[in-house]
């Protein structure tokens, strides 16, 4: 088991790696062309930037902590570790990146026996490095993060993600979004789950919910929310939010209220 001192040292090295790769992504965006986009599936886009960024991350993370395996979006390295795994999204918000919309990030989580113990999200455009390790608090660059103190959903701004493939649940999701819009300050869609989670941790929004997610979308961000004083569950209020493909993250105060709205149109079979 990694000690707090070891996690702190690993975190500093991971921050530097995330920022270096973020600088690479930023430079590539300046001359990026749409003809260099590939399709992994319907509306599931990838570019050489995603792939090269992931290669850089894997190589550097392997050098600082060779005991760990990898869970990666682009499959650069899929060797799982005995106790530890890096969970990597090299460019969360690829569609934003491709279209020139300024919300995309490098997301790196470290799992120890299935639990996230370290997380770094580097939002490239604002040069904001969100980072945390278990028990050490959450930070943006050098500033401590705390979730919002808004007590009710009616005082809250909520973010989500829109389905872009597998539309079989879209009517249920649209009905849920309608309810949230009517009961809050509004609903936002930023296009990066990692950034959405960081903004809950930073108190910029009070809550976030989305389904059809992958572990690399959320691993780092959920730790940031938890370390900033927030709460993270799946739609049913349980703990299956890393691999369960759905997440609800809030400032804690509005959590049950938001889960109640989700329950109106959602159930465990979704």
Q: Residue 178 belongs to a domain with what CATH number?
A: 3.40.190.80
Q: For the sheet containing 246-250, what is the strand order?
A: 186-188, 157-160, 207-211, 246-250, 231-233
Q: Does pLDDT of 39 surpass 80?
A: no
Specify the pLDDT at position 44.
47
Residue by residue, DSSP assigns the chain as ---HHHHHHHHHHHHHHHHHHHHHHHHHHTT--GGGEEEEETTEEEEHHHHHHHHHHHHHHHHH-TT-EEEESS-S--PPPSSEEEEEEEEETHHHHHHT-S--EEEEEEEETTEEEEEEEEETTTTEEEEEETTS-EEETTEEP------SGGG-EEEE----S-GGGHHHHHHHHHHHHHHSSEEE--S-HHHHHHHHHTTSSSEEEEES--HHHHHHHHHHHHHTT-EEE-TTSSS--SSSSEEEEE-STTHHHHHHHHHHH--TT-
Specify the pLDDT at position 76.
80
Q: Residue 42 falls within a domain, yes or no?
A: yes
Task: Tell me which of 13-17, 51-55, 139-143, 151-155 is least confident.
Answer: 51-55
- Tell whether 111 and 168 lie within a shared domain: no
What does residue 116 show for φ and ψ, rounded to 5 degrees? Answer: -75, 125
pLDDT in tens, 233-265: 999 999 999 999 999 999 999 999 999 999 998
Residue 208 region, left (φ>0) first, then alpha (ψ -120 to 50), else beta? beta
Task: Out of 109, 144, 179, pick the residue that ends a domain.
Answer: 144
Q: Residue 213 falls within a domain, yes or no?
A: yes
Task: Out of 144, 170, 200, pick the residue that ends a domain.
Answer: 144
Q: Does pLDDT of 43 surpass 50?
A: no
Task: Tell me which of 14-18, 111-115, 170-174, 229-233 is least confident.
Answer: 170-174
Q: Does pLDDT of 8 surpass 80?
A: yes
Q: Residue 36 belongs to a domain with what CATH number?
A: 3.30.540.10
Average pLDDT over residues 218-244: 97
Distance in angstroms (rounded) separating the CA atoms of residues 207 and 209: 7
Q: Residue 207 falls within a domain, yes or no?
A: yes
| 250: containing domain | 153-265
Q: Residue 33 falls within a domain, yes or no?
A: yes
Q: Residue 227 falls within a domain, yes or no?
A: yes
Q: Residue 270 falls within a domain, yes or no?
A: no
Average pLDDT over residues 151-163: 95
- Tell whether 51 and 24 lie within a shared domain: yes
Average pLDDT over residues 165-175: 84
**Binning pLDDT at 50, 70 and 90, where does residue 78 land?**
confident
- Tell whether 72 and 121 lie within a shared domain: yes
- Tell whether 112 and 163 lie within a shared domain: no
**Binning pLDDT at 50, 70 and 90, where does residue 170 land?**
confident
Q: Residue 122 falls within a domain, yes or no?
A: yes
Task: Out of 144, 164, 198, pick the residue that ends a domain.
Answer: 144
- Tell whether 63 and 115 lie within a shared domain: yes
Q: Does pLDDT of 177 surpass 90?
A: yes
- Tell whether 34 and 133 lie within a shared domain: yes
- Tell whether 121 and 36 lie within a shared domain: yes
- Tell whether 86 and 33 lie within a shared domain: yes
How many distinct structural domains can be found in the chain? 2
- The β-bridge partners of 115 are 112
Q: Residue 248 falls within a domain, yes or no?
A: yes
- Tell whether 117 and 165 lie within a shared domain: no
- Tell whether 168 and 136 lie within a shared domain: no
Residue by residue, DSSP assigns 22-58 as HHHHHHHHTT--GGGEEEEETTEEEEHHHHHHHHHHH
- Tell whether 184 and 115 lie within a shared domain: no
- Tell whether 58 and 130 lie within a shared domain: yes
């Amino acid at each position: 088991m990694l000690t707090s001192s070891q996690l702190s040292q690993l975190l500093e090295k991971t921050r530097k790696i995330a920022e270096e790769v973020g600088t690479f992504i930023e430079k590539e965006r300046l001359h990026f062309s749409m003809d260099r986009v590939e399709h992994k599936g319907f509306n599931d886009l990838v570019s050489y930037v995603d792939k090269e960024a992931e290669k850089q991350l894997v190589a550097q993370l392997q050098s600082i902590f060779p005991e760990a395996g990898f869970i990666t979006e682009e499959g650069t390295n899929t060797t799982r570790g005995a106790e530890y795994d890096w969970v990597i999204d090299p460019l969360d918000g690829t569609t934003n990146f491709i279209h020139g919309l300024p919300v995309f990030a490098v997301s790196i989580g470290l799992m120890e026996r299935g639990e996230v113990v370290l997380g770094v999200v580097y939002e490239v455009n604002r040069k904001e490095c969100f980072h945390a390790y278990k028990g050490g608090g959450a930070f943006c660059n050098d500033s401590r993060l705390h979730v919002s103190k808004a007590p009710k959903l009616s005082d809250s701004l909520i973010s989500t993600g829109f389905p872009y493939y597998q539309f079989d649940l879209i009517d249920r999701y649209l009905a849920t979004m309608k309810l949230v819009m009517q009961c809050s300050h509004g609903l936002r869609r930023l296009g990066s789950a990692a950034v959405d989670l960081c903004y809950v941790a930073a108190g910029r929004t009070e809550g976030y919910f989305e389904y059809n997610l992958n572990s690399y979308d959320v691993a780092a961000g959920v730790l940031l929310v938890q370390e900033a004083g927030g709460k993270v569950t799946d739609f049913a209020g349980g703990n299956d939010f890393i691999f369960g493909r759905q997440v609800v993250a809030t400032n804690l105060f509005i959590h049950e209220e938001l889960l109640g709205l989700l329950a109106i149109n959602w159930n465990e079979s979704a």
